[in-house]
Amino acid sequence: MSKVAAVIGGGVIGGGWAARFLLNGWDVQVYDPDPQAERKIGEVMANARRSLPGLTDVALPAEGELRFCASIAEAVAGAEWIQESVPERLEIKHATFAEVQATCARDAVIGSSTSGFKPSELQQGAARPGQIMVAHPFNPVYLLPLIELVPGDAGEEALVERAKATLTSLGMHPLHLKKEIDAHVADRFLEAVWREALWLVKDGIATTEEIDDAIRYGFGIRWAQMGLFETYRVAGGEAGMKHFMAQFGPALKWPWTKLMDVPEFNEELVDLIAGQSDAQSGHHSIRELERIRDNNLVTMMRGLKAQNWGAGALLNAQEKLMRADEPAAADLSADQLVRTARRTVPLDWTDYNGHMTESRYLHAFADATDRFMEIIGCDADYIQSGGSYFTAETHIRHLDEVHAGAVIEIETQVIMGEGKKMHLFHTMREGERVLATGEHFLLHVSLETRKPSAPSPEIEANLVRFAQGHARLPKPEGLGRAIGAVR
């Protein structure tokens, strides 16, 4: 039975929360009196469906059911997680929480998307203060993993731990703040940068585009993968953080910034900023900018994933949870093909025609081979001990096109497995449609000598069991085919 989340307020942030839960298999019940809420959330969902599933190399679970409700009471019925994303007015939030707590489960997490209010302010007058906590996300919620989780002094420890576990299962990073403060942590940095940027534009030092260039071509990339302090630790060189602090500490006394001084926020400044922003980005619609943003985020986060670093490490951790129920070799029938991949084709796997590129077919088959190696026991620990399989020969048939967002499955048949040799045949499908096949011959190699060697007895036994079982299956179409042979 699916878990249920309630989303109260269906704007950009509420819609992002709905997408994050839905695409991770939760049912979502939405309440928003705006007659346009269904359309707005539908547009957010369309963007999320094309981007989020491609972050992981394991297909997300079946999408949950989205339901729009006529009241808060209806929306929170049966919900384990209730996310409030109503306007940033305390009286509206208090009224919302009162309605929520009147009928919701006593052990449901009630998270607030507030960027400014402290939990103690949200909890004022609440029936159960400890049930309400700040769960502040970043846009787009369906892609960016950070959640500032601030329960305040009234927070219930068991509920907070459950909230952290839920967010982690959704591929997010709960930043648990033990002390509350106005604007939490991340937005305090953003406000500082925003204030300085306003002065730079107002004083004619730089345009909005030039300021954005300074961020996206410079420190923004460093911050994306290493944050602030780790970046400066590296800047300190071999002497480390103390050297950096000693070298650049005096600069804190220099009048470089105007962070404690705010320019007058008048119509002239607003027109100046808006005009420059229109010149910079006005040729794109907001939906186009969202898709450009999502493409870039997916590509960067998948790059970090390959390095198991930053936001990419979170994706790998989520995949590990998603693989937790996959059977071991001994539990798999040797009389059936082995499913070695079920994944969504990500945005960065497609070419100028919108098709998956040739190299990604090999990428997918290589991942399937790695998965089969893990199944028979040739996993990371075994490879660390000094043995692995090396691919000696590959042949791929490209039979049909596939696009970003498609859920592909790969089934693997062992054609031969004995001694040092392993011969695999992969078939890639989208539903019943065969997209490609990959035939691969591998040799077990000693990583010390870099020469063929016998695998461990356990691995060979697992491989032989599959080889003998798969020998009773029909030979796959295309087996042994060479270029130019009859299709």
The CATH number linked to 216 is: 1.10.1040.10
**Averaged pLDDT, 405-424:** 96
What is d(CA 225, CA 309) in angstroms, rounded to the nearest whole number? 7
Residues of the chain with pLDDT > 90, as a percent, come to: 77
DSSP summary character for residue 154: T
What is d(CA 341, CA 325) in angstroms, rounded to the nearest whole number? 14
Position 285 scores a pLDDT of 87
Position 132 scores a pLDDT of 98
Residues 19 and 124 in one domain: yes
Residues 168 and 195 in one domain: no
Boundary of a domain, candidates 122, 150, 176: 176
**Averaged pLDDT, 164-189:** 95
| pLDDT bucket at 379, cuts 50 / 70 / 90 | very high
| pLDDT tens by residue, 268-310 | 988 988 899 899 888 988 888 898 899 889 999 999 999 999 8
In a domain, 275, yes or no: yes
Q: What is the dihedral of CA 194, 199, 204, 206, to 10 degrees?
A: -30
DSSP summary character for residue 129: G
| pLDDT bucket at 240, cuts 50 / 70 / 90 | confident
Residues 195 and 158 in one domain: no
Q: Which residues have C-beta within 8 Å of that of residue 363, sequence separation ≥ 6?
A: 349
Residues 196 and 172 in one domain: no
Residues 105 and 26 in one domain: yes
| pLDDT tens by residue, 452-472 | 999 999 999 999 999 999 999
Tell me the whole-structure pTM to 2 decimals.
Answer: 0.85
Residues 149 and 209 in one domain: no
Q: Please spell the DSSP secondary structure of 444-464, one letter per residue.
A: EEETTTTEE----HHHHHHHH
Residues 162 and 213 in one domain: no
Domain count within the chain: 3
Residues of the chain with pLDDT > 70, as a percent, come to: 99
| pLDDT tens by residue, 210-225 | 999 999 888 898 888 8
Boundary of a domain, candidates 176, 206, 232: 176
| pLDDT tens by residue, 28-45 | 999 999 999 999 999 999
pLDDT surpassing 80 at residue 10: yes
Position 249 scores a pLDDT of 72
pLDDT surpassing 70 at residue 189: yes
Strands of 109-112's sheet, edge to edge? 66-68, 27-31, 4-8, 81-84, 109-112, 132-136, 146-150, 173-176
Residues 338 and 434 in one domain: yes
pLDDT surpassing 80 at residue 483: no
Q: List the Cα angle 345/348/351 in 5-degree steps.
A: 95
Boundary of a domain, candidates 154, 176, 198: 176
In a domain, 486, yes or no: no
In a domain, 315, yes or no: no
In a domain, 305, yes or no: no
**Averaged pLDDT, 126-134:** 97
Residues 172 and 201 in one domain: no
In a domain, 249, yes or no: yes
Position 287 scores a pLDDT of 87
pLDDT surpassing 70 at residue 486: no
Residues 121 and 220 in one domain: no
In a domain, 423, yes or no: yes
In a domain, 16, yes or no: yes
| pLDDT bucket at 252, cuts 50 / 70 / 90 | low
**Averaged pLDDT, 401-407:** 93
CATH number, domain at 340? 3.10.129.10
| pLDDT bucket at 487, cuts 50 / 70 / 90 | low
Residues 255 and 385 in one domain: no
Position 423 scores a pLDDT of 98
Residues 255 and 378 in one domain: no
Position 331 scores a pLDDT of 86
Position 210 scores a pLDDT of 96
Q: What is the residue range of 422's domain? A: 327-470
**Averaged pLDDT, 472-481:** 93
pLDDT surpassing 90 at residue 156: yes
pLDDT surpassing 90 at residue 375: yes
Please give the mean pLDDT across all residues of the chain. 93
In a domain, 464, yes or no: yes
